[in-house]
Amino acid sequence: MQLSKYIDHTLLKADASKQAIINLCNEAKEYNFKSVCVNTCNIELCKKQLEGSDVLVCCVIGFPLGAMTTAAKVFETSNAIELGADEVDMVINIGRLKDKDYDYVTDEIRQIKKACKDKTLKVIIETCLLTDEEKIEACKCVLEAKADFVKTSTGFSTGGATFEDVKLMKDVVKDNCLIKAAGGVKTKDDFLKMIELGANRIGTSSGTKLIEKGG
């Protein structure tokens, strides 16, 4: 796969303007990225801007804290799919994971996966807030719920993806689930190293700096 297709070109800032989202979509088409990753209010705008291209629209659910009710996340997911989202990145309930309520975490992922229908679901576990043991348990929940990806980070907490976390996640999920590394991937060397360690997708706002046009 060409390197540009590893990238979810991301703009999730609260103050992102309509023009900034249009620019994001234009860059994604120009650089041939896999997707744009945006908040749900921008799904319809992105679908319109990306019409005729193979760039997907990815959105975030329960973002960035993950502390909403399951019902709220499921509704947001269903609404996003109706609006045209091709992929969904959800945030787990981190507090429930830390309470070792793995059934809750797994069931919530499972319900959201069902709401996604045939669309891709990536599960953000927010590695910077977890111990290694908790990261392992989170990955197990993702596997049990049959989500498509486990994802490191929102990029809005205390840290982003690390090489160590991607390696740990790969050791747990092996080839049973894909991995998305997000947050803090800003150099070409870091980008290539993440892929080497097992990342199948990279979430970054620095995609245009990492990839040559059309690369």
- Catalytic center residues: 89, 151, 180
Largest CA distance in the chain: 46
Q: Any residues with CB less than 8 A from the CB of 208 and at least 6 apart, and which?
A: 9, 27, 31
Residue pair 142/177 in contact by the 8 Å Cβ criterion: yes
What backbone torsions phi and psi does residue 152 show, to the nearest 5 degrees? Answer: -70, -50
Residue pair 57/64 in contact by the 8 Å Cβ criterion: no
Residue pair 11/38 in contact by the 8 Å Cβ criterion: yes
Length of the chain: 215
d(CA 76, CA 134): 26
At 184, the amino acid letter reads G
Q: Is 58 helix (H, G, I), strand (E, B) or coil?
A: strand
d(CA 158, CA 27): 28
d(CA 93, CA 95): 6
List the one residue out of 167, 176, 87, 96 whose CA is nearest residue 137.
Answer: 96
